[in-house]
Chains A and B, each alone.
Chain A
Amino acid sequence: MKIMDALAAARPADLEATPDADRRYRDLEKALAQPVESPRRRGRPVRRLAIGVVAVGAAAAVTVALTGHQSGTPTPGKTPGDGKVGGEPIMLAADKAEAQPLGRYWTSDTVWGQSYIVSAKTGNYAITGAGWETFEWTAVKAGGGNLFYGRDLPARPQTPEDKAAWRKAGSPSSFRVWSNDHYQTYSRAAGSWSADHPQAKPGGRFEFSGMGDESRADGVTFDQLRHLSTDPDQLRQNYLQSPGNPAQRLLSVSEDLMSAPVPPKLRAGIMRMIPRLPGVYSVGTVTDPLRRKGIAFAADWPASGPLNHGYGSRTEIVFSPDGEFLGSEDVLTKPGGEYAKQRPGFVINYHVARGSAWRDKKPSPPAKLPF
């Protein structure tokens, strides 16, 4: 059962209540005794944001042929997590990561995508839907502000074969697909950027789970990150403290690198740590959904239990050869369930960094679409 279904099923039965007659009388009397205010002056017109939402989580995906994703299968005979498998490229990349500069603002421009199978009488085909780009800047110093933008990315058929099947189906301009628990329609049109309420957060704090304790739910400061040990063994201990299977842990590492201004030395330490995490193995060279060459490490999702959805998959974390963090993707390893007809290597969903970076001036989101 998927996690949001399980959560819905666990809803306590007695959350709702009807007021008794006395309570109802008192509530209505108290409310109606007050004057009704004049309509509030509306602020700036609210733009219709055409960002499609997947009800439950899930980032997105792109296809093997379209992106040229080249993940291989795990190399047989090598032991996961021994710190040596494919270790050399990541060590070199980590050295380069150390040399990169800092700035006053941390920006994170990220791209999400999710694969869906569209049912058509003329033949099913795979699309990338739930495509988003998010752009966030956060001041390194508290009080310096934070701003979060989002825009919709066009949904599209994935491989040339999918494109052919889409044409056969009449080249529809939108796609209606089953998304977890409901139908969702994704359009082939891109949306425009829309920001959160400006300065909604004061800045200075970032999401980061690799501190090794549970006391930082409100985020960490750049200073805390700067003083965190960069020793791979210590970092490994930190990440092992949080619950989760190897794939979830790898995803945490990826989200940390996506969400926080990780200093280059710390990033280098994290990169050196990754091959030492339990269950993590080298995948070798891959091409990510933005068509960038990278080196990837992976961890498998459980083959059974509540987190298994009838197919085998793994999470891959990808870095450029120069030590830039590129993102993560979930890749099919054993067809089944909703992906019964896809081949191993099919990217189920992804969340990649288009341009996580340090800046000295307040940044704006890029006008150009990522693809």
Chain B
Amino acid sequence: MVTDADAVGRFTALYDELYPRVHAYAVSRTGRTLAEEVTSETFCVVWRRFHDLPDPPLPWILGIARNVLRENYRAKAREDSLAAELRHWTSSVPDIGEDVQERASVLRALAALSDADRELLTLVAWHGLSTDEAAKVIGCSRAAYFVRLHRARKRLERAMTDETPAPVRRQATAYRTETTR
């Protein structure tokens, strides 16, 4: 058993360093309502499996958080919490800066995707993981991750296209009508 002061010290340092990252992952997967609880439970498992801690630890820890979410929370509770989070994202874009519209539009498109697609995309774009590391979190090969990310990205682009501002969309509709007669 690891009970010595050294291990406790290392675990505490790990908690202090990575709590924000694990919390961020939990928020993006299930919303802030459950995030603290998920993060707390994740670090319990990290301590229990402290002998298995790899370097770098983050992908492994996020993989644990992923399992905690899947195994400990009913789908309904996760969905409700996440739905509130998605509303928070799309309504809390600050009304300043020139890229406000694009940010809001990306977030709305992201909210329209499946949970699996959102996870694939945000592991890389928001949580700073390389595709190799993200594949470790998901538990798939790098090839599989690449392919799934590619498809998720295409779906995000499509959802973004659907967000085209109204005048442009009217033009597109007119074009469609003309060419499909």
Q: Mark B144-166, 1 if CB is under 8 A from A, else 0.
A: 11110111011011111110100
Stretch among A147-155, A289-297, A339-347 lining the B interface: A147-155
Decide yes or no whether A103 CB sits under 8 A from chain B.
no
CB within 8 Å of B: which A1-60 residues: 1, 3-4, 6-12, 15-19, 23-24, 26-28, 30-32, 34-40, 49, 51, 53-59
Residue of A nearest to B44 (CB): A31
Stretch among A64-72, A244-252, A266-274 lining the B interface: A244-252
Contacts A3-B160, A7-B156 given; does A15 touch B48 at CB 8 Å: no
Shortest CB-to-CB span from B69 to chain A, Å, is: 15
Q: B99 touches which one: A9, A56, A243 (CB < 8 A)? A: A9
Stretch among A120-128, A169-177, A189-197 lining the B interface: A189-197
Decide yes or no whether B80 CB sits under 8 A from chain A.
no
Decide yes or no whether B110 CB sits under 8 A from chain A.
yes
CB within 8 Å of A: which B1-41 residues: 1-3, 7-8, 11-12, 15-16, 19-21, 23-24, 27-28, 32, 35-36, 39-40
Q: Mark B106-149, 1 if CB is under 8 A from A, else 0.
A: 11001000100000011011100011100100011111111101
* B179 and A80 within 8 A (CB): yes
Decide yes or no whether B89 CB sits under 8 A from chain A.
yes
* A31 and B51 within 8 A (CB): no
* A8 and B47 within 8 A (CB): no
Decide yes or no whether A224 CB sits under 8 A from chain B.
no
Question: Residues of A contacting B48 with CB < 8 Å?
Answer: 34-37
Shortest CB-to-CB span from A89 to chain B, Å, is: 22
* B3 and A207 within 8 A (CB): no
> Which bucket holds chain B's interface residue count?
35 or more
* B47 and A32 within 8 A (CB): yes
A243 to B159, CA, bound (A): 6
Question: Residues of B contacting A18 with CB < 8 Å?
Answer: 19-20
Decide yes or no whether A217 CB sits under 8 A from chain B.
yes
* A7 and B121 within 8 A (CB): yes
Decide yes or no whether B92 CB sits under 8 A from chain A.
yes
Contacts A16-B23, A51-B143 given; does A243 touch B161 at CB 8 Å: yes
